[in-house]
Structure 1
Amino acid sequence: MECRPSPTDEAQIVLIEDNPGDVRLFEEAFRDGQINNQLHIIPDGQAALDFIHRQDEYEDAPHPDIVLLDLNLPRVDGEDVLHEIKHQPELDDVPVIVLSGVDEDLIESRDLDHDADEDAVIEKPVDPDEFLNVIREFDTFQLSVVRTGDD
């Protein structure tokens, strides 16, 4: 996805998600909810690492204010991406919300839960209407964030 400069009052939200249907639901929820933040869509774990390290096609990537991270990613696993984000000094204050299609018992059994790198975990509902409601509630809770870092 193209990374465009944006006004400083817009949060830079990075969605790391490989499922086109889930991406479409996020975009729809942002559009319908008139969420005034920049959404950067990253399709896989390797591209996510390139984005956070500002390399290759993402050399002009903005500093993220929030990362929404799917765990099940191609090329590089979501847990590895999470670990890399939380161990970069310039990104350690960026909230990372793990988006999971797995149930809570499985999340609790993963090393991810014990590392406490994630700031929150949201289970993605299967029903599209429920999914949109989760995103809208999340917006009310988190997406009106004030920018946390400088580019």
Structure 2
Amino acid sequence: MSDPAEIDVLLVEDDEGDVLMTREAFEHHKLRNQLHVVPDGVEALAFLRREGEHAGAPRPGLILLDLNLPRKDGREVLEEIKSDESLRSIPVVVLTTSQAEEDILRSYNLYANAYVAKPVDFERFIDVIRQIDDFFVSVVKLPR
């Protein structure tokens, strides 16, 4: 398999512990992707639309989206991303603590590309991040 290209990954997460674990997973597995972090849904949409302080933001190749966010929750963000013609082709992986069937169903109905329940165990969390990266960066062909 050829060497995968580096992509920008947008993590939309308000829990500092989960942000830290995701950063560690990227470092632990020497993932070459650039990780950008925003703490809520309003900031996520500003980043994606390159508004305000995010005017120079890169277009992410992958979005890791928590559902339970302040200001604008992940479900609303997902709905806005997938209804925006200029953003809808960006793959969105819902990465959340919720294992509720209604959240899973609603996320897929809003066109999430994958739904992953966050493991509480650190080693398992790192493994999940690596698998997401392997799949979306090494296996899947993404639009540029």
- Is contact 1:11–1:146 with CA below 8 Å preserved after alignment? no
Offset from partner CA, 1:27-86 (integer Å, 9 cap, x none):
001011011111111111110111111111101111111101000000111111111111
Distance in 2 between residues matched to 1:24 and 1:143, nearest whole Å: 21
Work out whether 1:59 is the aligned partner of 2:49.
no
Residue 29 of structure 1 is matched in structure 2 by 25
**Would the alpha carbon gap of residues 136 and 108 (structure 1) be closer, same or farther in structure 2, given more than 3 Å must change?**
closer
Count residues with an aligned counterpart. 139
Residue 108 of structure 2 aligns to a residue whose secondary structure is: helix
Q: CA RMSD in A?
A: 1.7
TM-score (norm 2): 0.88
Q: CA deviation at 1:15?
A: 0.5
Residue 97 of structure 1 is matched in structure 2 by 93
Q: How does 1:70-149 map to 2 (within 5 A)?
A: 70-108=66-104, 111-115=106-110, 117-144=111-138, 148-149=143-144
In percent, how many aligned pairs have the same letter? 42
Offset from partner CA, 1:103-126 (integer Å, 9 cap, x none):
1524245x33333x1010010011
Q: Extract unaligned runs of 5+ from structure 2.
A: none
Q: CA deviation at 1:146?
A: 5.7
Q: Extract unaligned runs of 5+ from structure 1.
A: 1-8
Distance in 2 between residues matched to 1:148 and 1:57, nearest whole Å: 26
Offset from partner CA, 1:85-136 (integer Å, 9 cap, x none):
1112121111000012011524245x33333x10100100111121111112
- Is contact 1:45–1:78 with CA below 8 Å preserved after alignment? yes
